[in-house]
Amino acid sequence: MSERLKTVGRKNSLLTGRNFQQNQAQAGAVISRLNIFFSVLSWQVLSAAKRPVVVVGSGALQREDGVAILSAVSTIAQNARASSGVEDSWKVLNVLHSRVASQVAALDLGYKAGVDAIRKNPPKVLFLLGADAGCISRADLPKDSLIIYQGHHGDVGAPMADIILPSAAYTEKNGTYVNTEGRSQHTKIAVTAPGVAREDWKIIRALSELTGVTLPYDSLDEIRSRLAEVSPNLVRYDDVEEANYFKQANELAMTVNQELLAAPLVPPQLTVKDFYMTDSISRASQTMAKCVKAVTEGAAAVDEPSVC
């Protein structure tokens, strides 16, 4: 079976073999060329494909013109679907959430990205739940704001906190995660949490009791029952949740600003200096620190793009 894979942006050593074709151009030109590629080769390649797949990384969508990029890619995916005649259940457009673990689960729970609302309307109490990306600093808040940090490894959020509540790392607690394809999965405790660290839900449950608004669950089973009420797919383990509203999403995408920036599409893995230390656990690792030193000595590396 013949396979044709098309990549957009700079050549990446992580990509190998299987007839890769490389487009090297600025963002606007890349999208335009990709549209041209589709119109020229659709009947030759894509219309013959039984299972066309378009994958876009979440990093590209975090750019200022991310909505415009998504709109263009969505149109390409819709055209690929139409020309291939693939069934409606096939996922042509796929977003690769590669920068934040279980980001899909957060979106399922109603999470909204960005901290502008906090800066515009600073809270009296800011609760940082494992928030170690450095999106908010003390300078963004009034001097009398109370900051509570719940997390592990004493990372970025801990030094700015007035109160620290030590929690368990992912290896030290039961957890529910959703992978990038929308498949809910659960993990079990591998090692015991050190000292007085506790599982996150137990800390929040204790706080609710102290503040007089006791939450109605006392066990992990009750927690999962609540998850089922908020987002039922989170407890349908190992099942992929259907999300094939691509036609409607494409129509909505046409209503936003379609202007593309001239900045090149460059995978951050090519230049980020702390590629091996992008979370609280790896930042606390001496081994990972040695990896960073080996990569950055004499290299023109840059800071990792913010996930905020």
Looking at residue 270, its pLDDT comes to: 66
| Res 103: pLDDT | 79
- The CATH code that applies to domain 105-235 is 3.40.50.740
- The domain ranges of the chain are 5-91+244-253, 105-235, 271-308
What's the predicted TM-score (pTM) here? 0.74
Tens-digit pLDDT profile for residues 156-183 = 899 999 999 999 999 999 999 988 778 8
Q: How wide is the angle at C-alpha 289 spanned by C-alphas 101 and 264, nearest 5°?
A: 60
Over residues 101-114, the pLDDT tens digits come to 777 888 888 887 77
Condensed to tens digits (0 to 9), the pLDDT of residues 129-165 reads: 988 888 888 989 999 999 999 999 988 899 999 999 9
Top-confidence residue, 50 or 173: 173
CB distance 24 to 11 below 8 Å: yes
Q: How far apart, in whole angstroms, are the C-alpha atoms of residue 275 and residue 304? A: 7
Which helix (H) or strand (E) element contains residue 67?
helix 66-84
Reply yes or no on whether the pLDDT at 299 is more than 80. no
CB 166 within 8 A of CB 197: yes
- 47 to 43, 62, 215, 222: CA distances (angstroms): 5, 31, 54, 49
More confident residue, 22 or 272: 272
Question: pLDDT category, 18, cuts 50, 70, 90?
Answer: very low
Q: What is the pLDDT of residue 212?
A: 95
Chain-wide mean pLDDT for the chain? 79
Is the CB of residue 149 less than 8 Å from the CB of residue 163?
yes
Question: Torsion-angle region of residue 195: left (phi > 0), alpha (psi -120 to 50) or beta?
Answer: left
Per-residue CA distances from 130 to 48, 199, 215, 274 (Å): 47, 12, 20, 20
Q: Please determine, for residue 115, whether its predicted confidence score (pLDDT) is greater than 80.
A: yes
Confidence check: pLDDT of 271 > 80: no
Query: Is pLDDT larger for residue 14 or for residue 51?
Result: 51
User: Rg for the chain (alpha carbons), in Å?
Assistant: 22
pLDDT single digits (tens) 200-233: 999 999 999 999 999 999 999 999 999 999 999 9
- What pLDDT is attached to residue 69? 86
Which are the contacts of 204, defined by CB distance < 8 A and separation ≥ 6?
Answer: 150, 215
Distances (CA, A) of 176 to 179, 206, 226, 235, 248: 10, 20, 13, 8, 29
pLDDT digits (tens, 9 = 90+) for 56-109: 888 888 888 888 888 888 887 887 888 788 887 888 888 887 677 777 888 888
Query: Quick one: pLDDT at residue 215?
Result: 95
CA–CA separation, 116 and 112 (whole Å): 11
Beta pairing class for 125-129 and 146-151: parallel
Distance in angstroms (rounded) separating the CA atoms of residues 46 and 308: 36
Query: Which of 16-20, 38-42, 56-60, 273-277 bottoms out in mean pLDDT, i.e. has the lowest?
Result: 16-20
